[in-house]
Amino acid sequence: MKKYHRFKLRTDRLDENGTCPVIMVITKNRKRQFISLKISVRPEYWDSDNERLIILGNCSDKTEKAENQKRKEVNAKIDDYANRAMVIEYEYERENNTHWTPSQYKEKIKRQPAKGKVEPFLIEHIQTLKETHRYGTANTFYCLHRKLLKFSPDLCNLSFNDVDVNYVERFNQWMEQDGVTSNTREGHIKRLRAIYNRAIKNGQAYKENYPFGRDGFQVYALHRETEKRYLPTEFLEKLKNKKSNNPQNEYARLLFLFSYYCYGMSFKDMAVLKKSNVITYNSGEYIVYKRLKTQDRKSYPISIKITDNIRETLKAITDYKKPIEDYLLPVVTKHKDNFSTLSRHVNVLLAAHNKFLNRLADEFDIKMKLTSYVARHTAAMQLQENHIPEHVISQMLGHKKLETTKIYLDSLDTSVIDEAVKVL
């Protein structure tokens, strides 16, 4: 969805207090309308890329805390205008209305209800995820939006106050009747919960009406155990020691092993690795990268020492196909001008990679579904079976929370249970 609004600091209107007004700019076909937000801020506090005030981290001083709170309140007001703008733009697109003018938009936004609507808040969150290149996560929230639209045709009028325990239960029952599996329903409702939490944080919803938690809808009750996602040792050894007769299957095997040896590096992270990600330290060469999925200020780089297995697998991959430009691996096949088109390109390549992994599984008589994600789970399980502490595994996988790692490790090999039962 195209975005027609932005927030701008009028630095040409500096007042005697050293502050400048923040305005909303609506642009279409080179025509513009301006809306005063009745907010003035100091230029050094303004982040022009994010179109919000800069929020300080780790404030200990009372003055700084008070200042931070003021900035959060200003950002919440800007968020409110952004939510109202997004729902207007979505309505124009849904109605296929291309004849509106910026002045009509301005009048409409003035009449738009100020707070508490679910749909504009959800739409803006999806837009933010896209702008920060988190396309996979954006797609999951887009799927939630589609589900909510089917369940609530009047979604545009739904407020967070309407989303109570009864609403969530009816939404869950409707999805179940529609044939949605329990774990998929869990995912949708988790994302609805995440949106509600963000709305509370941004002043769009009230804690008192929270439909989740101890006395609310129990999301965890929907979880069902799934089939194992890691390779048993016998199948892993096949992949390590046996080559495929099919060139495409063999290429898929090598990429799978590279991921496995690199602590279960995801396919998308592998695809965008550059030669500059290889760094030499005193103790040897390392691949140093940040996961695309968690690239923010709180995430830390992952350092992978290049072992003989990694070096040999990398050589075999690049002997099969030469990388383009300065990529480390020959996954990306075409030059892309921006990350958005690159991400879509990699998604297509991932689908093809999983297809060849399935063919490889058939060829090697591996009795389970083989995907790129299996390499990640297999690496985690192998580390655990070799008594590597969970907090170390969590760091190697690049997880922000230890709880995420525990999910990877909670399905122990049945042989562990088989051995334990002998003591009874």
If the chain, 424 residues long, is cut into consecutive pieces of 10 residues, what is the mean pLDDT of each piece?
89 90 93 91 91 84 83 83 80 84 88 71 88 83 94 84 90 94 94 92 78 88 73 89 94 94 89 92 83 64 86 94 94 87 89 95 91 85 68 59 53 41 33
Q: Which CATH architecture has domain 115-224?
A: Orthogonal Bundle (1.10)
Which DSSP category does 323 fall into?
A: P
Compute the radius of gyration of the chain from its Cα atoms. Answer: 25
Place of tokens 């509106």: 100
Residues 199 and 205 sit within 8 Å (Cβ to Cβ): yes
Which DSSP category does 230 fall into?
A: S
Place of tokens 């985690």: 380
Residues 20 and 40 sit within 8 Å (Cβ to Cβ): yes
- Reference 124, options 138, 135, 113, 112; nearest CA is 138
Kindly report, as residue ranges, where domains of CATH 1.10.150 are found in the chain: 115-224
For domain 233-421, say whether CATH 1.10.443.10 is its number: yes
- Which parts of 214-362 are beta strand (E)? 278-281, 284-289, 302-305
Q: What is the token pair recorded at 340?
A: 């958005």
pTM: 0.56
Q: So what's the pLDDT on residue 1?
A: 67
Q: So what's the pLDDT on residue 415?
A: 46
Place of tokens 């990877």: 408
Place of tokens 């045709």: 153
Q: How many helices (H) and strands (E) does the chain have?
A: 15, 8
Measured in degrees and rounded to the nearest 5, phi and psi for residue 17 equal: -90, 0
Q: So what's the pLDDT on residue 417?
A: 34
Q: What is the token pair recorded at 275?
A: 């030669």
Burial of 380 (0-12, 13-18, 19+ CB in 10 A): buried
Paired sense of beta strands 284-289 and 302-305, if any: antiparallel
As a whole number of angstroms, the distance between CA 147 and CA 130 comes to 19
Q: So what's the pLDDT on residue 404?
A: 56
Q: So what's the pLDDT on residue 395?
A: 59
Kindly report, as residue ranges, where domains of CATH 1.10.443.10 are found in the chain: 233-421
